[in-house]
Structure 1
Amino acid sequence: MNRQRRKEERQRRAEDRGQWASKTEYILVVAGQVVGLGNVWRFPYLCYMNGGGAFLVPYGVFAVLFGIPLFLLETSIGQYTQEGFATCWTKLCPLAQGVGYGHIIIKIFDLSYILIQAWALFYLIFSFSSQLPWASCENSWNTADCLSLHNLGSNSTNWTALKNTSSAAIEFWERRVLGMSGGIEELGSVRWELALCLLVCWVFCYFSIWKSVRSSGKVAYVTATFPYVMLVILLIRGATLPGALDGIYYYLYPDVNRLANVKVWIEAGSQIMFSYSLTSGTLIALGSYNEYNNNCYKDCFWISLLNSGTSFVAGFVIFSVLGFMAHSQGVTVDTVVESGPGLAFIAYPQATALMPLPQFWSVCFFLMLLFLSIDTHFVTVECLITSIMDLFPKLFRKRGRHEIFVFIICLIFFIIHLVLVTDGGIYIFQLFDYYGMTRFCHYFMAFCECLALSWGFGADRVINIIEDMTGQKPNAFFKLCWKYIIPLLSLISFILYLVEYKHLKFNDWYIYPDWAYALGWLMMLSSVLMVPLWAIGKTLVTHLSYLHCPAEDPALQRGKAGEEEMPIELTTSAVKT
């Protein structure tokens, strides 16, 4: 009777919140979220800078010890509780609900990444020009110091080594796209073309999620698969370019001496955290729309393999083209290697302009970049909205209110993000990126999550929950990771970040004013401080024994003699807060 009653309660909740229409939609949405820009512009660069092929050793170790176990933990607690990342803790460890509120703040900063989507759309539009505008110096925005691709290729050294000159690609990026001002103090006016691109991106985001998972799951059929089509096309093209092997050599050449450097291991852990979308609440929210008996244990292995495999393949795509670029200019690959926006919006566009049919290859690249960022963004917004609606279900779950609430959220953030498309917007974006979404926050959240679930709620309970949902009992290795390895690695990385902290500099020359650094630290601490502040506040008004884990429920006691084995599930009434 109890099993049947709980099953009926789950069904009613699924009808109220919504649920994935199929397992395929869930896999596509999660894959679209975890496979993103970090796979294309961050992993290849980190691999090159930190030992080439040897970097795969710490990357693989962190994937096994950190990525897959934490991926399984977050997905399973979302599926078990059927709650967003803010409210799931009331059924697990009420003392740690500050982690959920910290995730909300991190998500708000994450939304600023829509700016990359707007940039990609801007470049995509210009890719249809008869002559790519970043290939020549015959444009109104170019200066007398501009070097066209033809002149750049004829020099014996790269443009970065030439004084008082800049490439046409850099001038297009800094002067035409960004309209960069002298600093964060000079915001200037809104760049209306970028603002229109931003508006288009938010409109697309709205119609991707306005029906919750019923619409986002359908959109993922295109947004999650299309980048792979483009990746294969670019991979084939890159492998046939002259100089491609030189680029791949630079990408994978193993430097085993780098493995003795602690920073290399920290970078590997940071990349796993970033590319697997860990400790941001995303996996919890997406997992909450699964059926109770979905095999999340098997899912985590396949999605993790897909994510890391995509990163590895993307490296061949990027470095084969960079090898071609170096070959065309008569320089070494290391002089054209960049990470982040510099790779996506300067180096790679410059390389496509040197190829035959440059417009076609430019369109392919920026379509891939656009779809990668679309997936990541609308899932981020969906997860934020899910968790807010779970906090106030009576207010937002009524018919018709979901669409209105989604519209209001999209409108508000579009207005806020207009500051990012001003002349000084790039300085604000870099501030958000460096402080608001830093690994400082994510490592702290990983430590708190594992502490709450493995020591508060209980690692054995988590193991039993996964077994009850999936029919498969996770290996004891996962318990070891959740209780000891992940907290230890997170704490060490957290401390090392503080020890090695350096103030943000833009392009290695612009130093932010003191008030900007103070604002940055405020952003960074805003999510982290939610955890201890919530814990202290709840402890003052509630007995601690009711907070470190939910009240004991008979359903948590398995295999008692003479009793039928019961499903491991708690109801909200079992939580005394």
Structure 2
Amino acid sequence: MTEETATGAHHGDPGPDKGIPEEGVQPRAKWANKMEFLLSMTGQVIGLGTVWRFPYLCYKNGGSVFFVPYVLCSLFCGVPLFFLETALGQYTGEGGVTAWRKICPMFEGVGIAGQVIVTYLNIYYIVIFAWAFFYLFQSFKNPLPWSTCDNAWNTDSCHGRLSIFANPHLFQPDANWSFLNNITIPTDYYDNPSIINGNHSLLEETSSENEFWIRRVLRVSDNMSVANVHWDLALCLLLAWVICYFCIFKGIKTTGKAVYFTATFPYLLLFILFIRGVSLPGAGDGLAYYLTPDFSKIADPNIWTDALMEVIFSLALCQGVLPALGSYNKYNNNCYRDCIAICCLNFATSIFAGFAVFSVLGFMARQLDLPIGEVATAGPSLAFIAFAKALSMLPGACFWSVLFFLMILILGIDNQFVRVECLATAITDMFPRQLRRPGRRELLVLVIAVVCFLFGLSLVTEGGIVLFTLIANYGGSEIPLLFIALFETVVIAWVYGADRFCDNIEDMIGYRPIPVLKYCWLFITPLICGVTLLVFTPHYSSINVHGYVIGVGGVAFGSILMLIPLMCIPLFILITLCKNPDNMTTPSGDLRQARPHKPVLSLCKRVIFKAQGQPNRTRAERAEKVMMEEHSGV
């Protein structure tokens, strides 16, 4: 066997297998074709945040001027991280944990931290689809139940769309609502400071859409108990998990087929809603508000923080999802071109969704004779209150409501089952002998689904929205994601070696990526993440969830959720130090190195770190390696 063959220098060769599969152990699957990979990536990065987070951030941060920091953060942080994670998975052929173990054993905790965050997301994110299913089923009723005040859950102070049109003078920001002094307000409303502070807050809290959301869907109580599960929401949650399970229970064989529908159909629905939105009266006002830049905002550090975090959230970075999806690619797939295309598509879709959202908000603002700023909101409130109100004003409200919530479901369920797939991939790759056998994959996904469903039941109780808020604001918050992003770039660029990683990429795709990517990994991206961590000051202590102020116990619980992924990194450094102190930073000998004698990192033609070489092997290990290569035909 020649030296060239041993080092795997021929571009396009698949390289040695991980080993001869044991009897009964299935080989690791690959995407059936490139389109399945691209659609899976598209489905993961085009999610609910595209519809309800990006447009709101544009409104909040000066309209279209938000595009400037968003594009810059995408170029110098989003694209480098997106490509790094995808190329890492494709190069190692491993999921989100074992990929880091093979690149640098001491930083396996980086991958574990990402999987902890994915687990949080698998538990709480799917609850949104339970809500969406609930709204979808209610959308078949005429009139829409959230558009009226004659339901059992409504209070005496409820006002619906008809009362707004009948008394438009009462729904201005400076309207006199002093007559409310003669109305008995429900006792639990006094628990909410935002209601007592002004008439406009009372107006918002007592709208029919808000009462449907709070009193019918969430059914919050004074003590926010998590003991009483709402059976109808629990059934909706179960339905979401059943759909998710059957999309991925066979691995990428079913995932790759499901994404043909789940990644493309939302675009059709979004386009239909866009056409309907721009044809509404007042749509131009909403679009003007969305696109008019306020350049005074550009100097505000918050706009840059919001842009960076939107890039990280929208591209699904630092969660171990991208390495898992990339690991099912063929070795010589051009992931460089794919990543750039997906990032551009994500940005274009976000802007297009903004047109659809703000055209409808402009219509609603004109109908209510209110400023756009009074109806613009983000998160679940945009979909389940603001958009629910706007849809109820349209002719054929039931049809448009069904269409909208169907889009929300398909957008989100795609995100969900890809995340579950990536968690299952990570666990399977950690225990291949036990789990890569016939029937084990289906059982593993079933266990993940059942466990996450049981934890999720606490989120469909009277106090479920409090737990939902805690997990969202702490467990999947900015701080752990920024730390993971910082460690990922430092490990690849400075420990494994940016030049060696670029050599690996060249070996895979046939050419080196642009040099600016190397310097992003070395300096720019970690600097951006580090500075953001230093200036980022979250206001977690002031969280108020529908009148319930989260106390010390809730903050402590949320802090523990946030610390768990962060502690994984130093913990696994310590474990590696105890188990294998001699090879803490030495990559696995199974990894193909086209230029093993080349320095792993150089700057300005000066060698920073010399070639590391392969880990020491015993005679038996070397003989086994030769047998593996001959078996794979290399």
Normalising by the smaller structure, the TM-score range is over 0.9
Given the superposition, is the C-alpha separation of residues 171 and 572 from structure 1 closer, same or farther in structure 2, using an over 3 Å criterion?
farther
List, as ranges, runs of 4+ consecutive aligned residues in structure 1 with deviation greater than 3 Å.
1-8, 10-15, 162-165, 499-502, 551-557, 570-576
Matched, 1:523 2:561: yes
Do the aligned partners of 2:26 and 2:438 also contact (CA within 8 Å) in 1?
no
Do the aligned partners of 1:29 and 1:224 also contact (CA within 8 Å) in 2?
yes
Deviation of the 1:299 alpha carbon: 0.3
The DSSP-based 3-state class of the residue aligned with 1:472 is: coil
For structure 2, list consecutive stretches of 5 or more residues without a partner in the other structure. Answer: 174-198, 599-610, 622-634
Deviation string, structure 1 residues 330-359 (Cα, Å, up to 9, x no partner):
111110111101101000010010011101
Q: 2:549 maps to which residue? A: 511
For structure 1, list consecutive stretches of 5 or more residues without a partner in the other structure. Answer: 562-567
Map residues 113-124 of structure 1 onto 2, 5 A cutoff: 113-124=125-136
Given the superposition, is the C-alpha separation of residues 302 and 554 from structure 1 closer, same or farther in structure 2, using an over 3 Å criterion?
closer
Matched, 1:548 2:585: yes
Q: 2:366 maps to which residue? A: 327
Matched, 1:131 2:131: no
Deviation of the 1:74 alpha carbon: 0.2
Do the aligned partners of 2:305 and 2:532 also contact (CA within 8 Å) in 1?
yes
Deviation string, structure 1 residues 359-416 (Cα, Å, up to 9, x no partner):
1111111011000110000001110011011111111111111111111211121111
Deviation of the 1:249 alpha carbon: 1.3
Given the superposition, is the C-alpha separation of residues 52 and 191 from structure 1 closer, same or farther in structure 2, using an over 3 Å criterion?
same
The DSSP-based 3-state class of the residue aligned with 2:493 is: helix
The DSSP-based 3-state class of the residue aligned with 1:293 is: coil
Distance in 1, Cα, partners of 2:415 & 2:591: 40
Q: 1:174 maps to which residue? A: 214
Q: 1:79 aligns with which of 90, 93, 105?
A: 90
Deviation of the 1:93 alpha carbon: 1.0
Deviation of the 1:572 alpha carbon: 9.8
Deviation of the 1:51 alpha carbon: 1.3
Q: 1:33 maps to which residue? A: 44
Q: 1:429 maps to which residue? A: 468
Distance in 2, Cα, partners of 1:428 & 1:522: 13
Do the aligned partners of 2:102 and 2:591 also contact (CA within 8 Å) in 1?
no
Which residue type is aligned with residue 61 of structure 1? L
Deviation of the 1:533 alpha carbon: 1.8
Distance in 1, Cα, partners of 2:248 & 2:108: 26
The DSSP-based 3-state class of the residue aligned with 1:338 is: coil
Q: 1:244 maps to which residue? A: 283
Q: 1:155 maps to which residue? A: 168
Q: 2:240 aligns with which of 180, 193, 201?
A: 201
The DSSP-based 3-state class of the residue aligned with 2:53 is: helix
Q: Which moved more, 1:146-155 or 1:374-383?
A: 146-155
Q: Which moved more, 1:288-297 or 1:549-558?
A: 549-558
Which residue type is aligned with residue 569 of structure 2? V
Do the aligned partners of 1:44 and 1:314 also contact (CA within 8 Å) in 2?
yes
Which residue type is aligned with residue 547 of structure 1? M
The DSSP-based 3-state class of the residue aligned with 2:377 is: coil
Matched, 1:492 2:531: yes
Deviation of the 1:40 alpha carbon: 0.4
Deviation of the 1:158 alpha carbon: 5.5
Deviation string, structure 1 residues 121-165 (Cα, Å, up to 9, x no partner):
111111111210011111111111110111124423259716466
In angstroms, what is the RMSD of aligned CA positions? 2.5
Give TM-score scaled by structure 2 length: 0.85
Distance in 2, Cα, partners of 1:436 & 1:560: 42
Do the aligned partners of 1:91 and 1:571 also contact (CA within 8 Å) in 2?
no
Matched, 1:301 2:340: yes
Q: Which moved more, 1:149-158 or 1:86-95?
A: 149-158
Q: 1:564 maps to which residue? A: none
Q: 1:223 maps to which residue? A: 262
Deviation of the 1:550 alpha carbon: 1.9
Q: 2:185 maps to which residue? A: none
Q: 2:452 maps to which residue? A: 413
Deviation of the 1:82 alpha carbon: 0.7
Given the superposition, is the C-alpha separation of residues 398 and 162 from structure 1 closer, same or farther in structure 2, using an over 3 Å criterion?
closer
Deviation of the 1:552 alpha carbon: 8.0
Do the aligned partners of 1:152 and 1:167 also contact (CA within 8 Å) in 2?
no
Do the aligned partners of 2:129 and 2:412 also contact (CA within 8 Å) in 1?
yes
Distance in 2, Cα, partners of 1:300 & 1:12: 32
Q: 1:468 aligns with which of 493, 507, 514?
A: 507
Distance in 1, Cα, partners of 2:591 & 2:80: 27
Distance in 1, Cα, partners of 2:538 & 2:286: 31
Distance in 1, Cα, partners of 2:542 & 2:343: 31
Flag the structure with larger Rg: 2
Do the aligned partners of 2:589 and 2:615 also contact (CA within 8 Å) in 1?
no
Which residue type is aligned with residue 218 of structure 2? L
Q: 1:367 maps to which residue? A: 406
Give TM-score scaled by structure 1 length: 0.94
The DSSP-based 3-state class of the residue aligned with 2:457 is: helix
Q: 2:121 aligns with which of 96, 110, 115?
A: 110
Deviation of the 1:508 alpha carbon: 7.3
The DSSP-based 3-state class of the residue aligned with 1:134 is: helix
Do the aligned partners of 1:209 and 1:378 also contact (CA within 8 Å) in 2?
yes
Do the aligned partners of 1:551 and 1:574 also contact (CA within 8 Å) in 2?
no
Do the aligned partners of 1:152 and 1:158 also contact (CA within 8 Å) in 2?
no
Distance in 2, Cα, partners of 1:6 & 1:234: 45
Map residues 280-319 of structure 1 onto 2, 5 A cutoff: 280-319=319-358
The DSSP-based 3-state class of the residue aligned with 1:237 is: helix
Deviation of the 1:516 alpha carbon: 1.1
Percent pairwise identity: 42
Matched, 1:90 2:110: no
Given the superposition, is the C-alpha separation of residues 450 and 8 from structure 1 closer, same or farther in structure 2, using an over 3 Å criterion?
closer
Matched, 1:397 2:436: yes
